[in-house]
Amino acid sequence: MKNSGEYTEVMSRKSEILKKAVGLDYEGFESGAIAFDYEALMGSVPYDLKQIQQIQGETGVGNTPVFELRNLTELARSYAPAGKGARILLKDEAANPSGSFKARRAALSVYQAKKSGFKGVIAATSGNYGAAVASQAAMRGLDCIVVQECYDSHGVGQPEIIEKARKCEAYGAEVLQLSVGPELFFVFLKLLEETGFFNASLYTPYAVAGIESLGYELMVQTRERYGRGPDAVVVTNAGGGNLTGTARGIAGAASDSLPRIVAASVDLRGLNMASDGDFNRKSFTTGHTGFGIPFSVFPDRSDVPRSAARPLRYLDRYVTVKQGEVFFMTEALARLEGLERGPAGNTSLAAAFALAQEMDREQIILVQETEYTGAGKHVQPQLAFARQEGIHVYLGDPAEEVPGESIVLPETPGLIRAREIDVEELKKSYIRHGIDFARQRGGGDLKSLSEKDVEFLMQETRGDRSWVENYLHDFLEEG
């Protein structure tokens, strides 16, 4: 930082700044060394689902269509064992005003900002959410600032992020483009303090509650067309809010059995998302393991004191796909189904294509969202940029792909795979991070936890008491 003293001073006021900018007293939800009342936090949103849908409808958000991907379904069946190959459906969130499901998050956040008397909103994001906030702010008559990590230290910008900056500016937002590193959060906090604007964070209860309408809709639409809900819903996972809100909405709509919730991320393991050297060696700015894994095991790393995005509470399975597989499915969706979308939403499509081949033909697997595409987001600009950065791009077996070194486009669709992440290990990691977090907040040696803490960990990990207590005992004895 240019002024380390100012940086330290601003960061020391972080809790105070965030509390004022969100309008929530997070301390009121704390209930233990680790625990907080998550349902009370979500209940702080003063709108039920019907009201949320009404608020979103005022700005044209929601009621997006569901498509049956007949040609991709037949392609998957041609590689599946006999009797396998589930029907693949797709919820087309690109139909929202700003071109992604994040319009749902932004609609409720911006509405709340307006209702609470804020003059403007600020979002720290390099993704579609910035465009969504800018779009909704324009509709509600609020000022908007979007802060992005866009460049490496050589001033080289990722084409997808630059594309999204142009979209934010088209809606009238002021966009601050920064280089990768700790500067982003510092500038974000400083702007919140100086402007008095609302923190339109991805991780407030408003942002997550806004996605519940998506989960509700996809259940209702599938039932209306097929007489029952989907058997599996695949969600592209980054910070966890997409999965959390969708799963909560699905549960609210369920009158029959709940579908399995499958998280899907692009495999970028081995790359450090905060590293200047790795920043431009990836072709995906969201929906990848660099966000999906850290935010699953430590949700409270976000820009609010307690994140409303808690994916481990809701997911049944977590898989990864390769960059080359997602690029392939992006092209396949356009050429076989006439839908030009992507890239991030096609992460879940690539996973669904592989998973459909494991499922029975009469079953339904639903891809939960799409996103708009544009000049910097297309496959060809992304691959050209990758080559420029020294990434080897070739046809072959995606299993050979090494993040930061290669992108392998599958020679045949039969090479597309969904690779398992051990969810139990994620849950153990979550508990370890929770204990470290509590220690940092003055929790002492934590040799024993309260009943509320144990119950909270059971809810967070969907583990039974014996599993949680046994793992806690072993971990605390070791540590």
Residue 419, pLDDT above cutoff 50: yes
Q: Which of 420, 426, 435 is nearest to 472 (CA)?
A: 435
With beta carbons less than 8 A apart as the criterion, state whether 150 and 118 touch: no
Helices vs. strands in the chain: H and E counts, helices first: 19, 13
When pLDDT is cut at 50, 70 and 90, the band that residue 447 belongs to is low
Q: How far apart are CA 168 and CA 160, in angstroms?
A: 13
Q: Same domain for 371 and 447?
A: no
Q: pLDDT (tens digit, 9 = 90+) per residue, 176-211? A: 999 887 788 899 999 999 999 999 999 999 999 999
Mark which of 172, 206, 240 sits at the end of a domain.
Answer: 206
Interval 377-406 mean pLDDT: 96
Q: What is the pLDDT of residue 426?
A: 97
Q: Same domain for 95 and 124?
A: no
**What is the number of domains present in the chain?**
3
Expressed as residue numbers, the domain containing 224 is: 59-99+208-420
Q: Same domain for 33 and 171?
A: yes
Q: Same domain for 333 and 255?
A: yes
Tokens of residue 17, six digits: 């700044």
Q: pLDDT (tens digit, 9 = 90+) per residue, 353-371? A: 999 999 999 999 999 999 9
Q: Residue 147's domain is classified under what CATH number?
A: 3.40.50.1100
Q: How far apart are CA 10 and CA 236, in angstroms?
A: 34
Q: Same domain for 270 and 166?
A: no
Q: What is the pLDDT of residue 446?
A: 59
Q: Same domain for 184 and 287?
A: no
Which residue type does 94 have?
Answer: A
Q: Same domain for 312 and 401?
A: yes
Residue 163 neighbours by CB distance under 10 Å = 19
Q: What is the pLDDT of residue 255?
A: 75
Q: pLDDT (tens digit, 9 = 90+) per residue, 305-327? A: 899 999 999 999 999 999 999 99
Q: How far apart are CA 198 and CA 195, in angstroms?
A: 9
Q: Which of 201, 236, 242, 215 is nearest to 106 (CA)?
A: 201
Q: Same domain for 463 and 379?
A: no
With beta carbons less than 8 A apart as the criterion, state whether 28 and 22 touch: no
Mark which of 398, 420, 442 sits at the end of a domain.
Answer: 420
> If you average pLDDT over every residue of the chain, what do you get?
93
Q: Same domain for 113 and 191?
A: yes
Q: What is the pLDDT of residue 57?
A: 98
Interval 17-37 mean pLDDT: 91
Tokens of residue 97, six digits: 């005003």
The string of DSSP letters for 208-272 reads: HHTTHHHHHHHHHHHHHHHSS--SEEEEE-SSSHHHHHHHHHHHHH-SSPPPEEEEEEE--TT--
Residue 1, pLDDT above cutoff 60: no
| Residue with the two structure tokens 């969130």 | 93
Q: Same domain for 267 and 403?
A: yes
Q: Same domain for 447 and 302?
A: no
Q: Same domain for 123 and 258?
A: no
When pLDDT is cut at 50, 70 and 90, the band that residue 250 belongs to is very high
Mark which of 382, 403, 420 sits at the end of a domain.
Answer: 420
Q: Report angle CA 144, 301, 292 to the nearest 5 degrees.
A: 90
Residue 2, pLDDT above cutoff 80: no
Q: How far apart are CA 174 and CA 144, in angstroms?
A: 6
Q: pLDDT (tens digit, 9 = 90+) per residue, 105-162? A: 999 999 999 999 999 999 998 889 999 999 999 999 999 999 998 899 999 998 988 8
